[in-house]
Amino acid sequence: MQIISPQDLKPLLDQGAVTLLDVRLPDEIEAASLPGAVLIPLHELPARHTELPKDKPLVAMCHHGVRSQTAARFLERNGYPEVLSLDGGIDAWSCSVDATIPRY
């Protein structure tokens, strides 16, 4: 599993080069989210991971980057060829890329 910084992720998202997977809970997603993310809470990932594409890199995201690392390791073990975890999660994204995303 690789870690990606918010600054390195931004151009990849702008180009549509990656799929962003948000593994937070629904109330967290209501508080702050990034457009276009696939929303699968971590506890649902074992049952729903087949909804994710395998043809382009996946970037897992959570609040601070811990759950996303768990998700990334799970996806790698289940045959996803390129999986990254967003370093610092949506909180780091808000601090370093887009301050309009609320922090919670």
Count Cβ neighbours within 10 Å for each residue of 30-62 and write b for 16 or more, e otherwise: eebbbeebeebbbeebeeebeebeeeebbbbbb
Instruction: pLDDT band for 1, please (50, 70, 90 cuts).
Output: confident
| 95 tagged catalytic | no
Q: Is 16 left (phi over 0), alpha (psi -120 to 50) or beta?
A: left
pLDDT of residue 99: 97
Is residue 52 pLDDT above 90, yes or no?
yes
Residue type (1 letter), 3: I
- Contact present, 19 and 53 (Cβ < 8 Å): yes
| CATH 3.40.50.300 matches 2-96 | no
Of 32, 61, 62, 71, which one is the catalytic site residue? 62
What is the mean pLDDT of the segment spanning 11-19? 97
